[in-house]
């Protein structure tokens, strides 16, 4: 848990990264640390496995939540195969949930950040 706190302190951009799904609800790194501080056992366990490859269903929920939280003053531009996509956070989340053409790329970008949490950024 100390390591997770250190990550939040040093890299605020990772604090709100969704990293676990419990009973269908997505929890961020910051939320898990708060719960773990209060001694919630499953939160401590989830923190220990943070960054490990989640199941496909969990990954879909986590990645969609990750993109849904993108600030409204930012948009993602994808210089994709023969086309440009400019997507808001909401649109990116919809792409993932509906298996749109950008879903693999958007999921891959999220996974890369998840791995970096495990590696300590």
By the rule CB under 8 A, 90 interacts with other proteins:
no
Site string for other proteins, 50-89 (x = CB under 8 A): -------------------xxxxxxxxxxxxxxxx-x-x-
Q: Which helix (H) or strand (E) holds 83?
A: strand 83-87
Smallest distance from other proteins to CB 39, Å = 27
- Side-chain half-sphere exposure of 98, counting CA atoms within 13 A: 8
When the beta carbons of 48 and 108 are compared against other proteins, the nearer one is 108
CA dist., res. 43 & res. 14, Å (int) = 17
Q: Which of 16, 22, 44, 58 binds other proteins (CB under 8 A)?
A: 16
Q: How far is the CB of 64 from other proteins (least distance, A)?
A: 14
By the rule CB under 8 A, 41 interacts with other proteins: no
Location of structure tokens 């086309």: 83
Q: Residue 89 and residue 102: Cα distance in Å, rounded?
A: 12
User: Where on the chain is the footprint of other proteins (CB under 8 A)?
Assistant: 10-17, 69-84, 86, 88, 105, 108-110, 112-113, 116, 121
């Amino acid at each position: 848990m100390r390591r997770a706190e250190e990550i939040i302190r040093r890299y605020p951009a990772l604090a709100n990264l969704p990293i676990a799904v419990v009973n269908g609800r997505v929890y961020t790194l910051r939320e898990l640390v708060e719960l773990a501080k209060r001694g919630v056992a499953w939160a401590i366990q989830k923190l220990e496995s943070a960054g490990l490859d989640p199941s496909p269903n969990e990954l879909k929920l986590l990645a969609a939540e990750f993109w849904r939280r993108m600030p409204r003053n930012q948009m993602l531009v994808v210089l994709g195969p023969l086309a440009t996509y400019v997507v808001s956070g909401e649109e990116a989340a919809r792409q993932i949930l509906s298996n749109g053409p950008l879903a693999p790329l958007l999921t891959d970008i999220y996974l890369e950040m998840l791995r970096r949490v495990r590696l300590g950024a």
